Structure 1
């Protein structure tokens, strides 16, 4: 396949060429003649096909009977090679919102994922000649990359990279892989982020219950760790004060403190009057 290199095409300020055409037309009318007028008229028609209007952050890819002649990026009324095809390519940044895709994460759980990708054409010639319909190419390659990344990571995890918890790392990987896939079409990826992430409806309720159970377990673990720290501080304080507790009293103290500190209800003191 031919490697297309983006290069500037012949381009002149259109108003200069327009002024020259007016002068040529007036001269032809003044001179007259059966040969001069038809010749000048045909010449003016040919020259007129070279005009094009280019807005800011737009370009024209110029081809002459199938041959790439270059790219025009000047703004305003521009005159370029006549009798050529001039394809408009926008150089503006564009938001592409992918559809919600149903994929399996690295744990095999079905999830829904979607993303927003900010891109623009960096090489207009490659976008036109290297791929067929570059916008459709971006859509297809984006879906491939999103599916691939979703399959490499779990939806959520505490001790490793996950789709929900590691947004920065996932964004970097998404941009990197998209740029690698799309650079062949002259596309520059500015940013890419996950815009939608959820468990599939068929397992959403079950996964929500699991997340709630994990949250409760984590909270309980932190509570017990804190309570053990308090118990240790109490025993250390008693020891510094010279209060020696028997093993039976130490166990009873620890049990009472743990029950009081980890209970989800208020402690109700009981006064023992039987001894």
Structure 2
């Protein structure tokens, strides 16, 4: 049986992941790139230049969002690791969370009635409420779905060789998702109504991709049968983590990488405004940025 095949020795020992499962995992990466890429690249520009929310309200919403973002990862990881479900402890959150994640993505781009999009002097309260609710809803679902996604490879096989081999599929589907993102400025230049229709289509594609992953990838229950000790509550585990020097080193490195990427991504669309270019030219800027990122 293919599922019982075992690679050589040492860290390479473990189940050989079928190619079909690796491709299904890649579909999850595709969905991830589509949703997070569009939000990361276009949300700031959209709310500042298209919806015209006041800067101070935008900043307040972002600050509240940052505090929520810092807290929910810890709590969800604690809950997910202790989940007992017939599908595993990662797949259920991806399968049932995907439609809600897509809904949170859609919520950003369709103005609330009475919010007067494009008018800097009207509807500011509704614009702020929509942005804040959208950020909290989106980040909650992002944590639930994507944290489960990135934690999935160790549940698929013990073999570090097999986990590493998933990387080529991750790269391929990341590039495919990136191509989708790069055409968004061209779509936006055709009008906001067409852009919003494209958002609905992309949300449906992302949901389908997550579902393909959830039905095509199998967790190995024997890899997480060991019960967690009840004496380790969430506060104890946080203390233990921050005593780990390797964890602290990675935390600093990851902060610098994420901060740089997000700062670059969020403000890339503004180059078209600063230099007086047409929106379609943002694709050229994005291709340059995306090439460097890859």
Relative to the length of structure 2, the TM-score reads 0.23
Report the structure number with the largest CA radius of gyration. 1
Q: Which has the higher strand share?
A: 1
Higher relative contact order (CA 8 A, sep 6+): 2
Q: Which has the higher helix share?
A: 2
